[in-house]
Structure 1
Amino acid sequence: MPDFNLPGRRPADADSAEAQVHLLAAEGSYELLSESTVPDALGGSDNFFLFEGYNEWGMPAVAAHLHHNEDDKTFTLAAEPAPTFAAGAAWLVQHGADPQQFLQHARGAGAPADARSAAAAARIVESGSRYQLVEHGIEYGETWALLRDNAAVSAERPFLLQLESAHHQRGYTLREGSFSSPQEVQQWLESRRTPLPPVVGDEVSVVVSPQASAARARTTGAGQRANAQEPAAVLTGASVVSRRAVR
């Protein structure tokens, strides 16, 4: 767990102060899975963290973005719980992290366990705000997230169900299927009598977001900050934590 005491620096705003208090209080609850630092042109830096979290929400991932401002010795800090490791990585990418650190170079529990899982993660990590989180739940070591696909190609079956199970050393396994309605998803989760239906298009179609492109450019370039608009959350909309029994 990184030291979020940050001596010699002060929070730039109330949200950063609140996030600092939360992360300091949760020191024994989170395990660090991934950490990266990207310098900016003004002498500061962006720091990206992906944690495995054991907290009151029952979510397996927590992402944090820390920015050091060298001009006034302040910092901005944001922390975001996520239903899956892929969703946590996606949130970090939307805040400027390099997506490849979570797809090609990741290790441990926060890494895809196989090529199929990596492809499913890439769909979420690199596709900007295409997917909206509808609902999620965790039971018996498996986390599921129901996403709505806003792309026109998925109009007939716009609900994407992703199932994630994690192993501390091998990484996480991510499987997915497309459904026409949340009711169909609930019925499938409760019975599991059939395989997951194929994803619309039967392949991962990644639409790389501007934030992901900027992050990749600045980590492969001279370490300079890319000029990008303020990123939006990768999974938008309200999430409802569900404790539905999954068998």
Structure 2
Amino acid sequence: MPDLSLPQWQPADTASARAQQHFLEAEGVYDLLIETDPEDLDGPEPGSDNFLLFEDLDAYDETANPALAAHLHYGTDGTFTLATRPAPTFAIAAAWLVARGADQGAFLHRAGHGGAPVDERSAAVAARFITDHARYEQVEHGVEPGETWVMLRDTTSAGAARPFLLQLETGDPERGYTLREGSFASPQEVQQWLETRRTALPPVEQGEVTVVYSPQALAARARTAASPAKGTAAEAAPVPVPVPAGRRAVR
């Protein structure tokens, strides 16, 4: 947990003061996963920004958001603004930070880290969503230990045939998160899939993306290409996971 007491800096507004006080009182609640601009020995520079992605360790029930994004901006007049955004998935939290000026790569290229995608497919899904997140509005989500699902509605004509996007995120604090997505024609179809999980997720409308490879993934692919004993089989479909019927969603 970074020190947000921020000596020699004053909150620029009431919202920033409240956000700062919340963090100061929440010791042990949040685990810092990514900090894009860590404070150096000389302290923050006026006019600079710090983007942080936290995991809310107390949030894994059906009424909470496991991810918390924070944007800290240091003004040129000795004040700071601190804005926060709770989110059901780390990808949604990252999209909010990128929209506020954070470097997208910071949330996609950190293999072996809890706040970044764990594999190439997850990185591709996260990259597509971060790029196109403005076209979606959140409908509802549900949380269980180790897994979060979120339903979003595509507000553009690109997804007119299947406008409801389902994202399924499973996390590992040591390795990162796995992110999968599919599109559906109605909320009822989303809920039916969640309850049964007997089929693969339907492909997302207009979902072609360029896969973003981390340096670790590129090295692994190079090793695979250099080994004649290894094939290039496609990624296996995820094994259906039974989910109790009647799970409560958060709107």
Specify the TM-score bucket, using the shorter chain as the normaliser. 0.7 to 0.9
Alignment of 1:55-134 (within 5 A): 55=58, 57-70=63-76, 72-105=77-110, 107-134=112-139
Moved over 3 A (4+): none
Give secondary structure in 2 for the equivalent of 1:119: helix
CA RMSD of aligned residues (A): 2.3
The equivalent of 2:188 in structure 1 is: 183
Cα distance in 1 for partners of 2:55, 2:123 equals: 18
- The CA deviation at 1:106 is 5.6
Cα pair 1:139 1:243 within 8 Å, conserved: no
- The CA deviation at 1:205 is 7.8
Give secondary structure in 2 for the equivalent of 1:110: coil
Cα pair 2:184 2:202 within 8 Å, conserved: yes
Q: Deviations over 1:206-233 (max 9, x none)?
A: 9xxxxxxxxxxxxxxxxxxxxxxxxxxx
Cα distance in 1 for partners of 2:191, 2:84 equals: 30
- The CA deviation at 1:204 is 3.4
Cα distance in 2 for partners of 1:63, 1:107 equals: 20
The equivalent of 2:5 in structure 1 is: 5
Cα pair 2:111 2:175 within 8 Å, conserved: no
The equivalent of 1:51 in structure 2 is: 54
Structure 1 residues 205 and 105, CA gap change in structure 2 (3 angstroms)? closer
Code of the residue aligned with 2:83 in structure 1: it is: A
The equivalent of 2:35 in structure 1 is: 35
Would you say 1:194 and 2:199 are equivalent positions? Answer: yes
Code of the residue aligned with 2:54 in structure 1: it is: F
Structure 1 residues 194 and 138, CA gap change in structure 2 (3 angstroms)? same
Would you say 1:144 and 2:153 are equivalent positions? Answer: no
Q: What number of residue pairs does the alignment pair up? A: 207
- The CA deviation at 1:197 is 1.4
Structure 1 residues 106 and 130, CA gap change in structure 2 (3 angstroms)? farther
Task: Determine which structure has greater relative contact order: mean sequence separation of CA pairs < 8 Å that are 6+ residues apart, divided by chain length.
Answer: 1
Cα distance in 1 for partners of 2:207, 2:81 equals: 41
Greater displacement, 150-159 / 102-111: 102-111
Cα pair 2:46 2:78 within 8 Å, conserved: no
Cα distance in 2 for partners of 1:44, 1:178 equals: 41
- The CA deviation at 1:66 is 0.5
- The CA deviation at 1:175 is 0.7
- TM-score, scaled relative to structure 1: 0.77
Cα pair 2:111 2:176 within 8 Å, conserved: no
- TM-score, scaled relative to structure 2: 0.76
